[in-house]
Chain A
Amino acid sequence: MTITLTSLDNLEFKVDKDVAERSVLIKNMIEDVGESDSPIPLPNVTSAVLKKVIEYCEHHRHDPVPVQDESDDPRKRSNDIEEWDMKFMQVDQEMLFEIILAANYLDIKPLLDVGCKTVANIIKGKTPEEIRKVFNIVNDFTPEEEAQIRKENEWAEDR
């Protein structure tokens, strides 16, 4: 069975049901609506991003469905991204963030994790100023505020 997805800019994408259902949001919508041919609107996702998301879901369509991870450990690994995913994530900053936002909205946890791991890997090893440059972030700390936070968190320097 094919599902039709409509992006923000009104482009239609036909995908197989099992691919579309990698998104828990879409899966639930299909369950609610039942057997229906009407397209599912995704007003929060542009066609460029949706295309990438569908590409990811198609590649991973046979992956086991992720189980709810209730483990206590908040610190997860980021060095286990598979090669296809790494290539998939070689996009510009804006697309990277858009993919993360879309994965969050569509509730596709593996894609969200890959996106966030990718950003985490970009952050690692850089100074705050380097991170700001990469992500176009303006430093809104005063020098005094920055110095104080640095001092109060000096302990975290120990590796």
Chain B
Amino acid sequence: MSPLTTTSILSPRSLRKRSLPTLPSELILHIFKFLTTPHDLRVAILVCKLWCTCGMDLLWSRPALLSSSVVEQITQTLSLEPSEMTFPYRDHVRRLNFSLVARDLVDEELVRFACCTRLERLILQGCTQITPDALLRILMAGQALVSLDLSEITTVGDSVIEQVATYCTKLHTLYIASCNAVTDSSISKLAQSCPSLKRV
């Protein structure tokens, strides 16, 4: 079986019966915005190729990380070789909120999200098992990050903040409540490197 490429999925054959008017993609997308659960979206993307292309970005832009098993399944998909993947899933991920799985999240799982280079918002509040090493891997891929929440990760200190300053120059919001090891010197470095910074 030859590997599926993105183009094979993106070129749907128009076989719809003529009796029903075809909705353009932007209207299909508008309908999908009212599908409130990932489950509904997942059903919708399996209907036909056109619906699949429309729904894919919505499904993957802010995947609901409800449990550890969900995280595991997502990382399995993200870890596929690009040539094996039906869609460039990693490029659609823009918002990740780990707070529901915070207590269980470990470094090995977190770093598998480092391929999501278009990530804009990352919430790691309460992820107390995460170490600065894993954070570095994520931050290195975080050139598009605008909002970062590291609250309650007590291992976060000046070195992490300096890395944020180095890699995440588009940052405008940073939450570091309870990160008591952070001192003013790294914050001022952050202020210098991130011209959009509005809130710390």
Contacts and interface: CB of A to CB of B under 8 A. Distances in A.
B44 A131 contact: yes
A62 interface: no
Interface size class of B (residues with CB under 8 A): 35 or more
A30 to B, nearest CB: 25
Contacts of A139: 47-48
B46 A144 contact: no
Given A153-B59, A158-B69, A158-B70, A138 B20 contact: no
Given A141-B49, A149-B45, A157 B89 contact: no
A123 B43 contact: yes
B31 A135 contact: no
Contact of A145 (B9, B37, B70): B9
Contacts of B70: 155, 158
A156 B31 contact: no
A35 interface: no
Interface in A73-90: 74-78
A43 interface: no
Interface size class of A (residues with CB under 8 A): 35 or more
Contacts of B87: 152
Contacts, number: 138
A25 interface: no
Contact of B36 (A77, A141, A153, A157): A77
B200 interface: no
Contacts of A126: 43
26 contacts: A74-B58, A74-B62, A78-B35, A78-B36, A100-B23, A100-B27, A101-B23, A104-B27, A116-B33, A116-B34, A119-B31, A123-B40, A123-B43, A123-B44, A124-B35, A127-B43, A131-B43, A138-B17, A141-B48, A148-B86, A152-B80, A153-B77, A155-B77, A158-B66, A158-B67, A159-B39
Given A98-B21, A116-B33, 17 more contacts: A74-B58, A77-B36, A78-B35, A78-B36, A94-B20, A120-B32, A128-B47, A135-B20, A136-B19, A148-B86, A149-B46, A152-B86, A153-B59, A155-B70, A155-B73, A156-B59, A159-B38
Interface of A: 74-78, 93-94, 97-98, 100-101, 104, 112, 116-117, 119-121, 123-128, 131-132, 135-141, 144-146, 148-150, 152-159
